[in-house]
Amino acid sequence: MLQRLIIRDFVIVDQLELEFSHGFGALTGETGAGKSILIDALSLVLGERADASVIRTSAERAEVTAEFNVVENSALASWLETNDFDTATCLLRRIIDQSGRSRAYINGTASTLGQLREIATFLADIHGQNAHHSLLYPEAQRALLDAHAGAQDLLHEVATTYTAWRQAREARQAAMTDSEASARERELLEWQVKELTALAFNAEEWQETETEQRRLGNASALLEAASAALVVLDESETAALSALQHAGARLNELVTTDPALSDAARLFDSAVIQLEESALALRRYQDHLELDPSRLIELDSRIDAVTQMARKYRVPPAELSALLARLTAQLDEISLRADPAALAEREQVTEAAYLAVAKKLSALRGETAKRLSQAVSSSMQELAMSGGQFSIALEALSEGASFGLESVEFQVAANTGQMLRPLAKVASGGELSRIGLALQVIASQANPVGTLIFDEVDVGIGGRVAEIVGRMLRDLGKTRQVLCVTHLPQVAAQADWQWSIVKETRNAVVVSSVRILDQASRVIEIARMLGGEKITSTTQRHAAEMLGLTE
């Protein structure tokens, strides 16, 4: 649920800090007062694109902050934890500066715009005032049906398998028309793969070869250094180790005379032991390190061969194995293209995979279309379209597409006895508004987000229908937080709480502000919505009666 919204220097809002309640809330006000600005600000903090034009005149930047509550073990809490954000709350912040640059934060940590949009799917669902018009387009109709069906994963799988099928088909067709070019390319790849395979390059072996080559190449210097150290330590008349051992023994004899000497003697003994072990290690090193000119020549030859091959193919030596894998895969693909039977088989396999998942999507669409058609038809009866019928037609395509095996078309019969016809061809503006509103309300019932926002979606309706719409939104508000920007008193009167958006002039600057209405103020506001600028006792009584409908 949306708990708090803070807006600074956004369009004509200088500063607002709003605390939201649960249930159904109505946002009302005169035309042009900025009712939809609150929704625009919320859309901004939920990831919508914006530029410097949203910054209030004379301000340096626009800033919007929204706070939502987090339910323990919810999908929102899981998302925050998975993305390394604090899970105690959900605080979103968006800043737009004069250059148009945008900065976003989640719980005080910098985030991307994509993360804002992703987290928004758990927080709020905004239905805009132009949503009805999008229903005239087949793509929007299909998207609405698929969203209501929860078919996102299936849609992704359908698109993926369709791409694989299309590529397999194109490969078979290309092989039929480009066999000569493929033969030349295959011949080159075969030679390259053979050459790289013969090199028998192995990344681990390459590191060992370089290490051994460096050791053998510097064997003389290594042996000389080890011998010189041994001479100083233990292999000369003035060997340091012998003298140190003698000195250490003398110190230990004198410890009994003065115990204060014990720490120094102990440290001295430790140093002598370390030097003795060093002498042993140097002798072992000498025994194992041999001058082997033939082995060095062999290693130099191997390194030269690998280096030349890497230079030839313009890759670092360490990437030769990956290069061989890529060329082998390309050769396999070209070899497959030269085999019509194998190509045809792969096309059949990928087509079958596509059809299998596409048919699952078709079945899900069919079930959802039937259920949604019945629900919208039922709502139409309440929305002054008695006898009206709504249906979602699924028409099989001659060939599958990336979105499935069928097209989606919304059809409507506005009155009893009329035939179903495409929504785009027969629905009037008022009918389209009512059908669109019914679809949005029904879709919202299946949406798990905690906040539903309707921005003047009641345009084109009035009277008894508006009262019914208000009741529908009030019923939604029993289980969700519902915010509705409306110009209809019948809708506003059904709300659990109401705010009035007003535009006023401060210091010669027009700003928008919000007034939280108590019961008496709501009567005045509803009366204004009923009667316009002049509020009479009659309109006030009527407003009070309307508000009594919610009691």
Q: What is the pLDDT of residues 149-169, one digit of tens each?
A: 889 899 999 999 999 999 999
Tell me the average pLDDT across 433-452: 75
What's the confidence (pLDDT) of residue 368? 94
d(CA 416, CA 407): 26
Beta-carbon contacts of 349 under 8 Å, excluding residues fewer than 6 positions away, are: 168
Residue whose entry in the numeric block shows the structure tokens 């369709």: 162
**Range with the poorest average pLDDT among 144-153, 391-400, 440-449:** 440-449
Tell me the average pLDDT across 464-490: 87
Over residues 461-474, the pLDDT tens digits come to 777 888 888 888 88
Q: Say whether pLDDT at 65 is over 80.
A: yes
Mean pLDDT rounded to a whole number for the chain: 83
DSSP string covering 16-79: EEEE--SSEEEEE-STTS-HHHHHHHHHHHTT----GGGBPTT-SEEEEEEEE---TTSHHHHH
What's the confidence (pLDDT) of residue 5? 93
What's the confidence (pLDDT) of residue 460? 67
Can you give the residue ranges of every domain in the chain? 1-123+449-551, 199-329
Over residues 227-267, the pLDDT tens digits come to 677 777 777 766 788 788 888 888 888 788 888 888 888 88
Beta-carbon contacts of 119 under 8 Å, excluding residues fewer than 6 positions away, are: 76, 79, 80, 90, 92, 106
Tell me the average pLDDT across 526-548: 84
Q: Containing H/E element for 105?
A: strand 102-106
Better-predicted residue by pLDDT, 328 or 212 = 328
Tell me the average pLDDT across 92-119: 91
What's the confidence (pLDDT) of residue 3? 92
What's the confidence (pLDDT) of residue 261? 83
DSSP string covering 45-59: HTT----GGGBPTT-
**Range with the poorest average pLDDT among 38-42, 93-97, 427-431, 450-454:** 427-431
pLDDT band at 551 (very low <50, low <70, confident <90, very high): very low
Over residues 333-342, the pLDDT tens digits come to 777 666 677 7
Tell me the average pLDDT across 24-53: 86
Report the range out of 384-388, 505-509, 517-521 with the highest average pLDDT: 517-521
Better-predicted residue by pLDDT, 281 or 359 = 359
Model confidence, pTM: 0.59
d(CA 507, CA 503): 13
Q: Say whether pLDDT at 31 is over 80.
A: no
What's the confidence (pLDDT) of residue 4? 93
What's the confidence (pLDDT) of residue 155? 93
331-338: which pairs have CB atoms within 8 A and are 24 or more residues apart? 331/186, 331/189, 331/190, 331/193, 333/171, 334/182, 334/185, 334/186, 334/189, 335/186, 336/171, 337/171, 337/172, 337/174, 337/175, 337/182, 338/175, 338/179, 338/182, 338/183, 338/186
Measuring CA to CA, which residue among 399, 402, 428, 401 is closest to residue 415?
A: 428
Over residues 174-207, the pLDDT tens digits come to 776 655 556 777 788 889 889 888 888 887 787 7
Backbone angles phi, psi at 410, to 5 degrees: -85, 130
**Range with the poorest average pLDDT among 129-138, 236-245, 251-260, 357-366:** 129-138
Q: Containing H/E element for 397?
A: strand 389-401
What's the confidence (pLDDT) of residue 550? 44
Tell me the average pLDDT across 498-524: 85
What's the confidence (pLDDT) of residue 313? 86
What's the confidence (pLDDT) of residue 360? 96
d(CA 9, CA 13): 6
What's the confidence (pLDDT) of residue 498? 93
Tokens of 439: 């679809």
Measuring CA to CA, which residue among 6, 94, 12 is closest to residue 57?
A: 12
Q: With contact defined as beta carbons under 8 Å apart, do 228 and 279 qualify? A: no
Beta-carbon contacts of 323 under 8 Å, excluding residues fewer than 6 positions away, are: 196, 313, 315
Q: Computed from CA positions of residues 9, 13, 17, 19, in that sequence, does the dihedral angle turn out positive or negative?
A: negative
What's the confidence (pLDDT) of residue 364? 96
Type of residue numbered 414: A
Q: Say whether pLDDT at 398 is over 80.
A: yes
Q: Containing H/E element for 370?
A: helix 340-382
Beta-carbon contacts of 370 under 8 Å, excluding residues fewer than 6 positions away, are: 392
Q: Computed from CA positions of residues 298, 299, 301, 302, in that sequence, does the dihedral angle turn out positive or negative?
A: positive
Type of residue numbered 247: A
Q: Say whether pLDDT at 370 is over 70.
A: yes
Q: Which CATH superfamily is domain 1-123+449-551 in?
A: P-loop containing nucleotide triphosphate hydrolases (3.40.50.300)
Q: Say whether pLDDT at 290 is over 60.
A: yes
Tokens of 502: 């007003």
d(CA 383, CA 436): 11
Tell me the average pLDDT across 5-11: 91
Q: With contact defined as beta carbons under 8 Å apart, do 480 and 451 qualify? A: yes
What's the confidence (pLDDT) of residue 165? 95
Measuring CA to CA, which residue among 543, 434, 455, 535 is closest to residue 493?
A: 543
**Range with the poorest average pLDDT among 87-91, 144-148, 347-351, 443-447:** 443-447
Tell me the average pLDDT across 534-542: 85
Q: Say whether pLDDT at 410 is over 60.
A: yes
d(CA 496, CA 367): 35
